[in-house]
Amino acid sequence: MTKLRLAIVGAGPAGIYAADLLVKAERHFDVSIDLFEQLPAPYGLVRYGVAPDHPRIKGIINALREVLDSGVIRFFGNVRYGVDITLDDLKKHYNAVIFSTGAIRDASLEIPGIDLEGSYGAADFVSWFDGHPDVPRTWPLEAQSVAVIGNGNVALDVSRILAKHADDLLVTEIPTNVYEGLKASPVTDVHVFGRRGPAQVKFTPLELRELGEMNDVDMIVHDEDFELDEASKAAIETNKQVFVINKVLNQWRTREVGQASRRLHLHFWAKPLSIESDGAGRVAAIRYERTRPDGAGGVVGTGEIREIPIQALYRAVGYFGSPLDEIPFDEQHGVIPNHEGQVLDAHNEIVPGVYATGWIKRGPVGLIGHTKSDAMETLSHLVRDQANWWSPAEPAEEAIPALLASRGVEYTDLDGWHRLDEHELALGASDAHPRLRVKVVPRDEMVRISRA
Ligand SMILES: Cc1cc2nc3c(=O)[nH]c(=O)nc-3n(C[C@H](O)[C@H](O)[C@H](O)COP(=O)(O)OP(=O)(O)OC[C@H]3O[C@@H](n4cnc5c(N)ncnc54)[C@H](O)[C@@H]3O)c2cc1C
């Protein structure tokens, strides 16, 4: 019986599900899996993307942890592919590699003024409030009036965290520096902009409804945005999700507002045109054009231009993958080009031994659960492709820790993650406001605790 020595790069849900499915798959060979992760802790965007006030979703970590604890998978954290380990190394020690490196950057938005001071990408802000070790500890929260561009769930996360009172987040796992930053925020108004109408948003109903439950925050929607065209009416009638979203929004139209100290405004049919400067290079206003349906599923400008004063802007228009050393990359879509997870070169030929799964395979859309079906598809090829696997010169498992140690890489392992996990749980339990966890943020501290 042959043995598949598999390297997986990226310990987010896609990589962990791939490992789990392979272990459980019907196959005619043994497996030994090494999971490499650039951060000292596993779980990718479940730890560093999902909002801290979504403990139910964060709880998926428990299922992912069970996979890691199954005893078949070795975890090498704080190891960056392209820096600490290369493609040549992988070919020397493994039969194949799956890249599951996700997407962490913001997609760009080409409008004048987007580079002004006070204009930020949602991904950077998310990394800050979720305690990502590689972003600065402080975030400039000085604006009273803020714009968020985008009509997806990340836009909702960003606007909710901006609008919510910091004390209402104290029950969550937000790091102390994040609580202190949010507590000092003078924000009173958060304006969310979407080019299309209420029946075309990409929000999910649960996340939208949650906005209306925030303490001391009024939801402001505008009657003029609810003059629905035929396509919108049809969507509400035929699509359950759109139906619920429409219901939630309409409930807010009838709510009494005016008592809360903060407001979250939803502007539909509003296409941002430019960000205006205060003359000193700082964000001062957002200019947008009212749109209307074009009858073919899109929108056209009405020529009516409006402006709202703001002091900060967040673009939540999607995430974007990053290229990996020596691996083909589709610059336009921010993914590794592939056929059902088999990586393709510039001539559309399959690259032997190299696979992709998760957001880096199909782009940054979809929920955590989708990465499971994704992994299934990739693995179905990996398992059948035995003739294409690499033939490693040094397949021994001991070679990897020795290689990393010889390069001075301070890698963390599964025991180390357990130590850090327990440390964070203990910090949470002993906090002045006891909660499930308090995250350790600085990378060197994460590594120190893990390797203690
Ligand atoms: C702000 C936000 C909120 C979200 N909220 C939800 C939600 O509430 N519910 C839900 O179901 N889904 C949510 N999602 C979607 C969910 O996070 C993704 O579907 C999922 O995380 C994608 O998994 P992945 O493994 O492909 O990528 P990731 O989770 O990004 O994992 C990729 C991993 O690869 C590592 N990596 C990258 N480059 C390297 C390298 N060179 N070397 C080594 N390691 C590397 C990264 O550090 C990371 O740990 C949210 C996403 C975002 C952005």
pLDDT digits (tens, 9 = 90+) for 188-215: 999 999 999 999 999 999 999 999 999 9
Q: Which positions ≥6 away from 347 have C-beta within 8 Å?
A: none
Confidence of residue 295 (pLDDT cuts 50, 70, 90): confident
pLDDT recorded at residue 228 = 87
Q: How far is the CA of 123 from the centre of ligand 1 (A)?
A: 11
The mean pLDDT of the chain is 96
Region of 435 (left: φ > 0; alpha: ψ -120 to 50; beta: rest) is: beta
Q: How far is the CA of 64 from the centre of ligand 1 (A)?
A: 13
Confidence of residue 1 (pLDDT cuts 50, 70, 90): low
What span, in angstroms and rounded, lies between the C-alpha atoms of 194 and 150?
6
Report, as an integer, the average pLDDT of 323-344. 97
Going 164 to 170 to 172 to 177, the CA torsion angle's sign is positive
Question: Angle at CA 342, nearest 5°, toward 93 and 64?
Answer: 70
What span, in angstroms and rounded, lies between the C-alpha atoms of 322 and 336?
9
Predicted TM-score (pTM) of this structure = 0.95
CB 106 within 8 A of CB 315: yes
Residue carrying structure tokens 């801290």 = 52
Tokens encoding 334: 């921010």
pLDDT recorded at residue 26 = 87
Question: Ligand 1: which residue has its CA nearest to atom 49?
Answer: 44
CB atoms within 10 A of CB 102: 25
Helices (H), 37-175: 44-48, 55-58, 60-68, 87-93, 122-129, 153-163
Tokens encoding 241: 């999700």
Residues near ligand 1 with C-beta < 6 Å? 9-15, 36-39, 44-46, 49-50, 54, 57, 80-82, 100-102, 126, 154, 157, 319, 324, 358-359, 366-368, 371
Q: How far is the CA of 151 from the centre of ligand 1 (A)?
A: 20
163: Cα separation from own chain's centroid = 20
CB atoms within 10 A of CB 276: 17
Q: Which amino acid is at 323?
A: P
Residue carrying structure tokens 């005893």 = 71
- For a mutational test of ligand 1's pocket, the pick from 53, 99, 101, i.e. the residue with the most ligand atoms closer than 8 A to its C-beta, is 101
The predicted-structure confidence for 39-87, as pLDDT tens digits, reads as follows 999 999 999 999 999 999 999 999 999 999 998 899 999 999 999 999 9
pLDDT recorded at residue 2 = 84
Tallying the residues shown for the chain, one arrives at: 452
